[in-house]
Amino acid sequence: MFDFLCEIKAQRVVTDDYMLIQLQAGELADQARPGQFVHIRIPGLEQSCLRRPFSIFDAKAGVLSILYKAVGRGTEMMRSLQLGRQLQVIGPLGNGFPLEFDGIPLLVAGGYGVAPLHFLASRLQRSGVMLVGGRTSGDILAVTEFEALGWRVAIATEDGSAGDKGFVTVPLVRELARFKAAGQGVVMFACGPDGMLRAVAELAHKNKVKAWLSLDKHMVCGVGACLACVQKLRREDGSAWVGRVCKDGPIFEAASIIW
Ligand SMILES: Cc1cc2nc3c(=O)[nH]c(=O)nc-3n(C[C@H](O)[C@H](O)[C@H](O)COP(=O)(O)OP(=O)(O)OC[C@H]3O[C@@H](n4cnc5c(N)ncnc54)[C@H](O)[C@@H]3O)c2cc1C
Ligand code: FES
């Protein structure tokens, strides 16, 4: 884990409220694994909770890319930061997705949940299917990036402005049935709002498919010390324990989560 001052190399609007920021992060970027996150100190937030957690969208040649949505004070301030400004960044944090598994990868994202899954797709040996969901077409992100990596992409929007009308579970149910009919095994990887993750976990259980979920909890320290981000979990023997999403996660197997 590093605690670096990272210079902003680029910052651009992706769509609506979503931004992509690129930081010169040296070893921090080079050692990052898909599913890990960084904790960024946002200038101007010194009086409140100091840092904000963000998944890693991409990391190569010492440059860290973060795809974020402006939702509040911190992310609004981040949006207005100029090139050349230095940000204090701790990372890479958390456990990351497993990169070795049997089956075709089936990725499921809601909104900025595409971020860790894009990094994952860029590091996997084999491509698979990427399902992206959002409220409207403005929430559908990184489709061209996934296609450029050789992934087949399906979209769902709640207002029907792009792809299937409804939740991302609409194409997910279809894909699971298609793979089952073809006798092909799949492994799911998902990141998005809690409701979506819960639906993915239920479908994984119903279809006897393994699913790895990236949980999103409010964080304070980001390194396992404050217990702000606890999640009730189940061991293989059925006993319960309480894990810290920042340190023991953010990636957990769906079957281990007690919702
Ligand atoms: C492991 C992890 C990875 C994340 N990755 C990304 C990412 O790649 N891109 C991205 O845009 N965001 C990501 N987030 C969410 C991001 O950290 C929050 O959106 C951010 O902290 C909000 O800060 P703010 O000061 O702008 O909002 P605040 O003013 O603190 O809050 C504004 C609104 O955002 C909500 N909010 C605050 N924190 C979170 C949170 N952790 N999750 C969901 N809603 C929150 C609040 O409930 C409130 O409604 C991630 C969160 C975690 C825990
Ligand atoms: S945020 Fe402090 S323990 Fe997770």
- Please give the pLDDT value at position 193: 96
- Please give the pLDDT value at position 66: 98
- Please give the pLDDT value at position 48: 61
CB within 6 Å of ligand 1 — which residues? 37, 52-55, 67-69, 71-75, 112, 115, 216-219, 250
- Please give the pLDDT value at position 45: 76
Q: Whose CA is nearest to atom 53 of ligand 1?
A: 216
What domains are there in the chain, each with its CATH number?
2-93 (2.40.30.10), 104-214 (3.40.50.80)
Residue 42 beta carbon below 6 angstroms from any ligand 2 atom: no
- Please give the pLDDT value at position 22: 98
Q: pLDDT of the chain along its 259 residues, tens only? A: 999 999 999 999 999 889 999 999 999 999 999 999 999 999 877 666 679 999 999 999 999 999 999 999 999 999 999 999 999 999 999 999 999 999 999 999 999 999 999 999 999 999 999 999 999 999 999 999 999 999 999 999 999 999 999 999 999 999 999 999 999 999 999 999 999 999 999 999 999 999 999 999 999 999 999 999 999 999 999 999 999 999 999 999 999 999 9
In total, the chain counts a number of residues equal to 259
